[in-house]
Amino acid sequence: MYNPTAHLKLKELKASTLKAYDEKLSADFQTRLTALFSDIFSRFVKLYGEHEHFQPALELLLQKMAEASIGRPAYLLKSDSLREENPGWFCSEDIVAMMLYVDRFNKDLKGIIEKLDYFDELGVNMLHLMPLFDSPKFKSDGGYAVSNYKKVDPKFGTNADLKAVTKALKKSNKLLMLDFVVNHTSDEHEWAKKAKKGEAFYQDYYYTFDNKTVPMLFEQAMPEVFPESAPGNFTFDQSMDKWVMTVFNQYQWDLNYTNPYVFVEMLNNVLTQANMGVDIFRMDAVAFVWKQMGTSCQNLPNAHQIHQLFKLCTQVVAPGVAFLAEAIVTPEEIVKYFGSSEVWSNEHDMAYNATLMALMWNSIATRSTRVMKASLRDKPKKPKGTTWVNYVRCHDDIGMGFEDRHIQESGFDPAAHRKFLTKFFTGDFNGSFAKGMPFMYNPKTDDARISGSLASLAGLEQATKEGNDLGIKRSIARINLLHGIILAFGGIPVIYSGDEIAMLNDYSFLEDESKSDDNRWMHRPKMDWQLAEKRKQKKSPQAQVFQALQHMISLRKNCPELGDHNNFKLIETSNEHVFAFERQWQGKSIMVVANFRDDDQQVYSHLLFPQSLINPFAMKDLLTDQKVQVEEGRLYLAPYQFYWLTNQ
């Protein structure tokens, strides 16, 4: 929309701040700036209009954007323009990702290049490398406490090594996703160090307080993220003689985004990393960036304004870069991170489908898909041209973040149901096959999340220990079932490194003082390359998981209907153990039918197919390439069996 104030402001900035860069700025940059400036400006005014540094901060913002644009390497400018012609490029069925810790995977950044063949073998063409930038040796939260956003942590290598990785990935047609830790810095970041030395200017980069009065008022409405290891949301810092807001760990200081300089400096960090060759930013803990007393300090409207500013400014400089929201919150709140536009995202291009992840684990525990269906029936809409990141496990704990009303609708009591899930996955329930641990039990809310690797939660650890062949078989079937769903659901599937070879829990963190208070390390094992060799040994669990995944990935890439066209359709099966959905696109279709129970199940074909593009009399399972027949009006499924049905 034409906004005369913004128009005049831009004119003024072009004649002043941008003047010095004029000749070096590309026409494309100028065009995009003109097109997006009023969206940027209106948000900046909304957030910072009253701030004493409004004008200089705005000038600094434009200056940083101009400098980043001029510094953007030619090969990235090229990919920018290709992607501008193909917005929504990340919705493609062709993309399959793996996330990994560089040091735990293969020593360091050089080690990534050595293993490109491994990714190719599996079919992975996008890498999420866990936090890479400089971070203290011990107080690092796995790299999520950043002390320098412009320097690679020496334990992984150098900035030159990162450049070599981006080049190698580009050359082999792979995408790179890196974390951007947007909500907090390490207390060893130079801003925090200056704050500790008493510099008021930098104390205002964080939420600092002279005494406990205000923090205590905040606390009344703020939940705790790490109640066991880091209770409370504020920490007293002796050198500063002040309290500072620390929502996560005590050494992770929350940035004060009510200060416009914080936004500008952090945007500058984003743009610097973008120019290193990042394709996608995983924006960490996005729900938390805006705080307001009397609220939970999560999902606030101004948090969205901040993220929209990040996106819009980056779009001017580096339009080929995409953003992923890590918002592990309720389904209704998650979709808000796609922004407020209906046709394309003006905020994040993708979001973690934390709801699906939790629903799948719920279905594994209960062997019922009732809650999953209730939730998906009621799924909030996301804008076109945005997509999900679908995953079974990641480096974090599992929180059962679906809605209570969907549990109720399914006939369960929410509190009792959630308690059951924790017990089931921590092996504290008779008949459970799962070997997880409770994460961050909070006695005040009687709440806990769950840690554990995919294979161990799916039963492989216990069954192997017991020498239970049927148990081993079932656990492998569960793993493949879950992978089969994330590959077909719609969105980018992300395999968690190690899960492709069914790695079990790693209990060695208990002996490491820097990790023992955080049991998420139990599912962050060092990649076992010897075990990986077994992927070639027929019948080993490794081969059965790896090869199934490899096969499904290659099938997915040849099925355009599996790209994300907002074409997920839930199918009512009337069998609570069987989950089904269809993905139609331009006359083609795949229907996934999945049995979540460890015995045979059947579904009526008159329920599955009435609105389907699939002909029940001439269909096949893409996974086995075998004809599938309806018998006496029913489709049969073996324990944990799943089909990808398609027309013959």
Which residue numbers are catalytic? 284, 326
Query: Under the criterion CB under 6 A, does residue 227 sit at the interface with ligand GLC?
Result: no
557 in Cβ contact with 360 (< 8 Å): no
Q: Which is nearer to ligand GLC, 225 or 271 (CB)?
A: 225
Spatial separation of the C-alpha atoms in residues 617 and 69, rounded to whole Å: 57
Total residues in contact with ligand GLC, by rule CB under 6 A:
14
Using the 8-state DSSP alphabet, how is residue 447 labeled? Answer: E
The CB density around residue 512, as the number of other CB atoms within 10 Å, is: 9
Q: Which is nearer to ligand GLC, 248 or 644 (CB)?
A: 248
Query: Under the criterion CB under 6 A, does residue 561 sit at the interface with ligand GLC?
Result: no
Query: Which residues face 281 on adjacent strands?
Result: 178, 323
Stretch that binds ligand GLC, among 299-307, 389-397, 472-480, 553-561 (CB under 6 A): 389-397
Q: Name the amino acid, one letter, at 542.
A: Q
Rounded (5°) CA angle 279-358-569 = 80
185 in Cβ contact with 258 (< 8 Å): no
* 3-state SS assignment for residue 336: helix
Query: Under the criterion CB under 6 A, does residue 399 sit at the interface with ligand GLC?
Result: yes
> CB nearest ligand GLC: which residue?
144
The CB density around residue 220, as the number of other CB atoms within 10 Å, is: 8
Question: Can you tell me which residue has the tokens 């089909």?
Answer: 643
Query: Under the criterion CB under 6 A, does residue 548 sit at the interface with ligand GLC?
Result: no
Query: Under the criterion CB under 6 A, does residue 228 sit at the interface with ligand GLC?
Result: no
Query: Under the criterion CB under 6 A, does residue 144 sit at the interface with ligand GLC?
Result: yes
Mask 408-427, x = binds ligand GLC (CB under 6 A)?
--------------------
Q: Which is nearer to ligand GLC, 230 or 603 (CB)?
A: 230
Mask 169-208, x = binds ligand GLC (CB under 6 A)?
------------x---------------------------
619 in Cβ contact with 628 (< 8 Å): yes
Query: Under the criterion CB under 6 A, does residue 248 sit at the interface with ligand GLC?
Result: yes
Spatial separation of the C-alpha atoms in residues 311 and 314, rounded to whole Å: 5
Spatial separation of the C-alpha atoms in residues 597 and 199, rounded to whole Å: 61
Q: To the nearest whole angstrom, how small is the minimum distance from the Cβ of residue 142 to ligand GLC?
A: 6
Which of 80, 93, 141, 279: binder of ligand GLC (CB under 6 A)?
Answer: 141
Q: Which is nearer to ligand GLC, 184 or 535 (CB)?
A: 184
Listed residue (173, 86, 98, 95) closest to 130, CA to CA: 98
Q: Which two tokens stand for residue 503?
A: 């790695």
Q: Which is nearer to ligand GLC, 56 or 399 (CB)?
A: 399
Q: Which two tokens stand for residue 201?
A: 């200017």
Query: Under the criterion CB under 6 A, does residue 396 sit at the interface with ligand GLC?
Result: yes
Q: To the nearest whole angstrom, how small is the minimum distance from the Cβ of residue 226 to ligand GLC?
A: 7
Interface with ligand GLC in residues 275-304 (CB under 6 A): 284-285
Q: To the nearest whole angstrom, how small is the minimum distance from the Cβ of residue 441 to ligand GLC?
A: 13
Query: Under the criterion CB under 6 A, does residue 224 sit at the interface with ligand GLC?
Result: no
Query: Which residues face 169 on adjacent strands?
Result: none
Listed residue (103, 97, 120, 130) closest to 168, CA to CA: 120
Which of 266, 322, 328, 603: binder of ligand GLC (CB under 6 A)?
Answer: 328
Q: To the nearest whole angstrom, how small is the minimum distance from the Cβ of residue 262 to ligand GLC?
A: 17
Spatial separation of the C-alpha atoms in residues 253 and 267, rounded to whole Å: 18
Spatial separation of the C-alpha atoms in residues 506 and 238, rounded to whole Å: 37
Spatial separation of the C-alpha atoms in residues 69 and 163, rounded to whole Å: 18
Q: Which is nearer to ligand GLC, 6 or 495 (CB)?
A: 495
Q: Which residues bind ligand GLC (CB under 6 A)?
A: 141-142, 144, 181, 225, 248, 284-285, 326, 328, 395-397, 399
